[in-house]
Chains A and B, each alone.
Chain A
Amino acid sequence: MASVVSDHRGADRDEADRYVSPTVRQSVKILVSGPFGVGKTSLIDSVSEIVPLRTEEQMTRQSLGVDSLMGVERKTCTTVALDFGRITLGGDIVLYLYGTPGQRRFWDHWAGLAEGAIGALILVDTRRLEESFEVFDQMELSDTPFAVAVNVFPDTPDIPLDQVVAALDLPTDTPMTSCRALDKESSIQALITLVEHAMGSARLAGAQR
């Protein structure tokens, strides 16, 4: 069934299925992060049972420059968008996947977004690895468990994963995998890698208590 990528897009995901099943008792979330264009929304779309939704926030941000004539700081308005999807698990749990950009200002703005998250799946594109640096700067500031998945594009060079770990200067125990974000099975496998890692962190935290 690995080839089924978009067949679930049509009748299964229409308006009638907008609502969460009444049997669901609990919601959990995973953040899918990475730079612009890395495939966050593709991954969410490939596994989501609903057509991914988008929500936008306006944020004002003081620009770095000061208007020398007026002597007041100029403010700029930016829109940040969050794409997300949903998967019902075992009938009583609903898992939300939030696609979060890597920029610091986004994480500052969405203060509650990472709170209570299972963890973050960080997508990287090895053809432009430098664009991921800011995301990892951000992850090092947070306690959120994370796993890294190289999104394999048709022209992605075949780089061993341990070399990617070294290039990103990540702790050697960081779970690292590769996936094709457009493929449902492959994307689910990447999510499983993250959840297994989060279970290890949870067990460790439990043992220290």
Chain B
Amino acid sequence: MVDPTDYLGPIRPYVLTGGQARPSRNTVRPETLLVANADVSLPPSATRQHRSLVQLCRGMLSLAEAAAHLKIPVSVAAVMVSDLVDTGHLAVRTVGADPDTPNYELLERVLHGLRSL
């Protein structure tokens, strides 16, 4: 089968995601930190874009950074990341669940960090 992502010209963005328009999980945000799981190798059927994403995430990066380096929209990268987290190829590196708003203790640490710069 032809991998449509091998085509070098413009392709419709959802081709990269295998037709999905929305991520399978809604916990990925632009600032969500990701790192590849080196123990799980990608299946031969993985697209070039999925491979590039896992390869890029050999070090820790946020979703928005990964999208910017790969020159794909964050919304498209979010779909790919959700899939790769589901299959165990990528791990989310954030403590606990993201609260809706940062708590006082976290803000205090941010303030201290900014003052120490």
List chain A positions with a Cβ less than 8 A from chain B: 18-22, 24-29, 47, 50, 53-58, 82, 84, 86-87, 89-90, 93-96, 98, 112-113, 115-118, 188, 191-192, 195-196, 198-199, 202-203, 205-206
Of B26, B64, B75, B95, which contacts A26 at CB under 8 A? B95
B107 A118 Cβ-Cβ under 8 A: yes
CA distance A87 to B103 in the complex (A): 19
Given contact pairs A24-B33, A87-B113, A188-B114, enumerate 13 new A-B contacts (beta carbons under 8 Å): A19-B61, A20-B60, A21-B60, A24-B60, A27-B31, A47-B117, A54-B68, A55-B68, A56-B73, A86-B62, A115-B29, A191-B114, A199-B107
A199 B104 Cβ-Cβ under 8 A: yes
| Residues of the B chain whose Cβ atoms lie less than 8 Å from the Cβ of A199 | 104, 107-108, 111
What are 12 contact pairs spanning A and B, CB under 8 A?
A: A18-B61, A25-B95, A26-B95, A50-B65, A57-B74, A84-B64, A87-B114, A87-B117, A93-B113, A96-B62, A118-B101, A191-B114
Of A20, A26, A90, A203, which contacts B104 at CB under 8 A? A203
B59 A20 Cβ-Cβ under 8 A: yes
CA distance A195 to B112 in the complex (A): 10
A116 B102 Cβ-Cβ under 8 A: yes
List chain B positions with a Cβ less than 8 A from chain A: 13, 26, 29-33, 59-62, 64-65, 67-69, 73-75, 93-95, 98-104, 106-117
CA distance A59 to B7 in the complex (A): 23
A112 B115 Cβ-Cβ under 8 A: no
CA distance A28 to B101 in the complex (A): 10
CA distance A195 to B111 in the complex (A): 6
| Residues of the A chain whose Cβ atoms lie less than 8 Å from the Cβ of B32 | 27
CA distance A21 to B112 in the complex (A): 19
CA distance A122 to B86 in the complex (A): 37
B64 A96 Cβ-Cβ under 8 A: yes
A57 B68 Cβ-Cβ under 8 A: no
Q: In this complex, which of B32, B93, B99, B108 has the most chain A Cβ atoms within 10 angstroms of its Cβ?
A: B93
| Residues of the A chain whose Cβ atoms lie less than 8 Å from the Cβ of B109 | 89-90, 93
